[in-house]
Every structure is written in C-alpha cells, then in structure tokens.
Amino acid sequence: EKAVNLKKDLAEMQEWMTQAEEEYLEKDFEYKSPEELENAVEEMKRAKEDVLQKEVRVKILKDNIKMLATKVPSSGQDLATELNVVLENYQLLCNRIRGKCHTLEARMIAFCLEISEVWSCWIELLQYLDLETAWLNNLEERVQMTGNLPDKLDAVNDALESLESVLRHPADNRTQIRELGQTLIDGGILDDIISEKLEAFNARYEELSHLAVSRQIALEQQLQTMRETDHMLQVLQESLGDLDRQLTSYLTDRIDAFQMPQEAQ
C-alpha cells in the first residue's frame, strides 16, 4: 500500500510539472507596453516561487522512497527509477523557469531604458555600484586578515593601519548611488529591481562597516595593551640592568653585604 501511494504521488508530481510547463513556459508573445512586460515579470516571479515551493514535497517523496527501499528493496528500486525521472524533470523545470524570469527582467530593463536619459542614469548607477562593491570586497578581505594575527606589536599595528586606510574611503560614491537610485525609482523605472539591488548593497555596506569599525576598535585596544606591556617590560629591564651594574660594582670592590644599607643587602 505504501508503494502504491508513493507511485501515485510521483504521478501527480509529474502531472503538475507538465501543467506548470504548459502554463508558464509555452506562452510567449510580443509585449506592447511596459505594463504588459511588468505583469509578465510578476507572473514569472510567482511561477518561480510556486515551483520552488514544491521542493519540500519532492524532498519528502525522496526520503519516503529511500526509506521504503531499505524495507522493501524490490518495490523501492522501481520507485527509485521513477523518482530519478521526476527529479530530473523538476530540476529542468526550475532551471527553465529561472531562465525565463531572467530573460523577462532583461527585456524589461531594455524596454524601459530606451530613453537616453534613463539609460545614462542606469549605467551610471551600475558603475558606482561596481566601484563600491569592489571597495566592499577589499574591506571584507582586510577584516578577514585581522582575524588570526600573530601576537606581535608590528603585526597588529600593520593590520590596524591597513584596515584604517581602507576605512578612509570617501562617501561620495555612496551618495551618488543613493541619488541615482532614488531618481530612477521616483520616475517609476524598474522600481523592484533597483530597490532590490540597493537594499542588497546597503545591507552589505552596513554589515561590513559595523564589523570593520568593531575590529578597528578591538585592534586599537589590543595595540594599546601591547604597548603598555612593552613599556612595562622595558622599564623593568632597565631597572634590572641598573641593579645588575650596582651589584657588580659591589662585588668588584669586594664590599661585604653587611656593610651596605639594608636595601642593598
């Protein structure tokens, strides 16, 4: 009975994928307006979410069939073969849905950016995003390099100076990104796509900036402690050196300790 139910579930899953392919992938026509294209993009996004939500059901089927195969190898083997076909078809459907979604988004960008002023604004925004993304990558690399430093004054000092040099990055580019993004959004151009890009950039910027500043403060405290320790050791070394020279002079002059003040004894 378990095998029969699983076989039925596999058949239903395959039937659903066939219907999804017909509904989402086989219709394609020329979009006459940005509104039509935007509606198509939203429809494909919903389709992508719908398909990805089935991943849980696919996983449950896979786990149940594996469990059955351990108990009833003959039935499990037959179902495993059918499962492989379903898994391949499901992965293909996911890839095709994602591909069409990206294609429609690219069409939407091309459709909406035909106006030269908007196109220029979009390209400028992408250029600033690329510059700031490269800076964030550099900042992330410098932060990671401070994570496992040798316990040496020079190493900590060099790491701190390296991190501070990256943090002295001007805020002009980020201001341009904010203004260009807001201009496009206010104009109703690719609101969702631009908002998504800006939200991702700003989130990463805030996260890395806070992490870098925290690491900078920690390095400054560590450096201060090491300098204080180094100074204390230097003072102690000088004091011991003076004491050694004084005691050596006593020995050289053959002075009896009992002839010296209490502190010298």
Q: Where are the domains of the chain?
A: 1-115, 116-215
pLDDT at 9: 81
pLDDT at 206: 92
Those residues with Cβ within 8 angstroms of residue 120's Cβ, 6 or more apart along the chain or in another chain: none
Q: Do domains 1-115 and 116-215 have the same CATH topology?
A: yes
255-264 pLDDT, tens digit each: 666 666 665 5
- Tokens 């095998």 sit at which residue? 3
Higher pLDDT: 31 or 236? It is 236
CATH class, domain 1-115, is: mainly alpha
CA dihedral 7, 9, 14, 20 (to 10 degrees): 170
What is the model's pTM?
0.46
10 Å Cβ neighbour count for 136? 19
Give first-to-last CA distance, the chain, whole Å.
98
Residue 165 has pLDDT above 60, yes or no: yes
pLDDT at 33: 64
**Residue 86 near residue 104, CB atoms below 8 Å:** no
pLDDT at 203: 93
Q: Of 75-79, 92-96, 148-152, which range is least confident? A: 75-79
Q: What CATH code would you report for 116-215?
A: 1.20.58
To the nearest whole number, what is the mean pLDDT of the chain? Answer: 81
